[in-house]
Amino acid sequence: MHIAIIMDGNGRWALRKRLPRTFGHRAGADAVNKVVEAAARRRIGTLTLYAFSQANWQRPTAEVSGLFALFKRHLQTQTSRCIEQSIRLNVIGRRDRLSPDLVALIESSERATAHGTGMRLRIAVDYSAQHSLIEVCRRARPGADLDRSRFLERLAEVDHSTSSTPEVDLLIRTGGEQRLSDFLLWECAYSELHFVDCLWPDFTARDLDEALAEYASRHRTFGALESHG
């Protein structure tokens, strides 16, 4: 099973508590650790987290710098935990706009966890699904026989995905908003959508279980007629 999460609401969580937005991002990082462990215990095959979108570059420079500093610390402290739990880590998205030291750290974490046989954890950083789809088309040779399988291979290359990824079964978004925000548009073509009002730092393993229970209650036909036989 592939679960994707749009982790929305860190800043609002902090503002409601009359704290700087950076406190919200730190609380959000703590929530990431808890949810990753919960998903691994529930034997989720792939978990993709939307950490930093292409649009997030428009935020104040100080906030962006703080987010990347937090991400660096997260990689430094959590890579060993991923190894212990046999979790394979992969950062997807553009890397040409990231600092060289961050790119080196990402590549180091990916190599260190490459032999993990448990859950695959993907973190989307400087990610835009529209950019990825356009880039696949741009790189395609004129007249190339680009079938669905080959397209997915090219998409994985563009996103720096370590291997082709199954389509998303369940997309969860916290924070009360009900949109995809340029996240995994191809992979979410047939995903079930689950929107919750709680802000990301307040999202718990119990909320994950509720999302999974709702997903299990839905009947999926993928456009076919229901079988009554």
Active-site annotation, residues:
8, 56
Residues 19-49 as b or e (16 or more Cβ within 10 Å = b): eebbbbbbbbbebbeebbebbbeeebebbbb
DSSP summary character for residue 171: E
**Which tokens is 81 given?**
């935990």
Three-state secondary structure call for residue 89: strand
Residue showing tokens 């992979």: 187
- What CA–CA distance (Å, rounded) separates 106 from 102? 6
Single-letter code of the amino acid located at 92: I
Interaxial angle between packed helices 21-41 and 61-84, expressed in degrees from 0 to 180 and rounded to the nearest 10: 20
**186-192: long-range contacts (C-beta < 8 A, 24 or more apart)?**
186/129, 186/132, 186/133, 186/155, 187/2, 187/4, 188/4, 190/220, 190/222, 191/4, 191/167, 192/218, 192/220
Q: What is the largest CA-CA distance in the chain?
A: 61
**Which tokens is 96 given?**
């040409």
